[in-house]
């Protein structure tokens, strides 16, 4: 049975109730009805990030967005998932934080997007059996919020449900300060603590190795002038491994892995003395 669309007055009342209980919207300023916004008309939100992500999906998919089934992991207040749904994609979005899930689900209902599903769940339980397969998986700011060894398992789960490509945006460690071993592979990065949350930020080389070893065949970096330099966005493609027909002997040779950049050379004694003298 189809629900009756919410009136602008109902949307405004429900928005105010959720804001009073869960706090104000802080990221996605969505227009839910005429003159009704989650944050207020003209308030700055996450529009630039949503727009460049939608643009990447459009450019990389090489098909109409209405033909895509998309998974948005850690969808937050739902801005990206709802925009993709508004443009015609079938979208499943997963959010583990109850307050953000409630805001995203309310916005979905207010916009009447029946082909968008907002799930309150744990991305660590992501699986083809539970969630199916997706043409595109979007994981923005997800892997860099996970501690080891969970981050390695979630990357594999993303690859398992992805049919075409994944967009992975994550903060990277500037230099390795620790290492973790998974399936015999050494990954380097920096442990990070924010309040009670702990994560393991991978170096660029370790992130690329993780995506490659998780089952993605090619990885490219998407560039945008508004993107953060310390949190690049990679497009990881789930293709078929190429086999050479003119040089079949090369097919038995595994491609090289991603090596870590060599550490900066230590400062000489004179350089250290000069630096101290300038202080």
Q: What is the CATH number of the domain that holds 180?
A: 3.40.50.150
In a domain, 21, yes or no: no
Q: Centre a 10 Å sphere on the Cβ of residue 161 and count the other Cβ atoms it contains.
A: 21
Return contacts of 259-268, CB within 8 angstroms, 24+ apart: 259/205, 260/176, 260/188, 260/203, 260/205, 260/206, 261/203, 261/204, 261/205, 263/175
Give tens-digit pLDDT for 41-84.
999 999 999 999 999 999 999 889 999 999 999 999 999 999 99
Give tens-digit pLDDT for 164-213.
999 999 999 999 999 999 999 999 999 999 888 899 999 999 999 999 99
Residue 190 lies in domain = 47-242
Rounded Cα distance between 10 and 237, Å, is 43
3-state helix, strand and coil shares in percent for the chain, rounded to the nearest 5? 35, 25, 40
In a domain, 256, yes or no: no
What number is the average pLDDT over the span 213-224? Answer: 95
The domain total for the chain is 1
Residue 229 has which token pair? 């330099």
pTM of the predicted protein model: 0.90
In a domain, 123, yes or no: yes
Please report, in angstroms and rounded to a whole number, the separation of the first and last CA atoms in the chain.
73
Residue 55 has which token pair? 């643009």
In a domain, 275, yes or no: no
In a domain, 209, yes or no: yes
Rounded Cα distance between 269 and 124, Å, is 49
Helix (H) or strand (E) holding 5: none
- Token pair 């082909």: residue: 115
pLDDT of residue 98: 97
Q: Are 216 and 156 in contact (CB under 8 A)?
A: no
In a domain, 139, yes or no: yes
Helix (H) or strand (E) holding 192: strand 185-194
Q: Secondary structure of 12-71 in the HEC alphabet?
A: HHHHHHHHHHHCCCCCCCCEEECCEECCCCCCCCCHHHHHHHHHHHHHHHCCCHHHCEEE
In a domain, 24, yes or no: no
Q: Answer with the residue of higher pLDDT: 260 or 34.
A: 34
Give tens-digit pLDDT for 254-270.
777 787 765 555 555 54
pLDDT of residue 62: 85
pLDDT of residue 274: 46
In a domain, 71, yes or no: yes
pLDDT of residue 261: 61
């Amino acid at each position: 049975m189809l629900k009756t669309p919410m009136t602008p007055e109902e949307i405004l009342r429900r928005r105010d109730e959720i804001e009073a209980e869960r706090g104000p919207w802080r990221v996605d300023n969505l227009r839910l009805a005429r003159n009704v916004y989650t944050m207020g008309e003209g308030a700055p939100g996450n529009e630039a990030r949503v727009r460049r992500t939608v643009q990447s999906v459009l450019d990389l998919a090489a098909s109409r967005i209405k033909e895509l089934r998309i998974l948005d992991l850690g969808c937050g207040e739902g801005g990206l998932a709802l925009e993709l749904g508004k443009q015609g994609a079938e979208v499943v979005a997963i959010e583990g934080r109850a307050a953000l899930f409630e805001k995203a689900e309310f916005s979905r209902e207010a916009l009447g997007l029946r082909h968008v599903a907002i799930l309150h769940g744990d991305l660590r339980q992501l699986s083809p059996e539970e969630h199916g397969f997706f043409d595109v998986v979007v994981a923005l700011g997800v892997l860099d919020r996970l501690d080891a060894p969970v981050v390695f398992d979630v990357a594999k789960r993303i690859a398992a449900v992805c049919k075409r490509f994944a967009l992975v945006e994550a903060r990277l460690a500037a230099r390795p300060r620790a290492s973790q071993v998974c399936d015999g592979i050494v990954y380097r990065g920096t442990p990070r603590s924010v309040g009670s949350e702990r994560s393991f930020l991978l170096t660029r080389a370790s992130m690329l190795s993780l995506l490659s070893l998780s089952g993605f065949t090619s990885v490219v970096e998407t560039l945008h002038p508004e993107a953060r330099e310390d949190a690049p966005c990679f497009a990881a493609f789930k293709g078929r491994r190429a086999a050479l027909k003119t040089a079949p002997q090369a097919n038995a040779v595994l491609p090289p892995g991603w090596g870590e950049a060599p550490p900066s050379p230590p400062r000489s004694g004179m350089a250290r003395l000069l630096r101290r003298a300038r202080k």
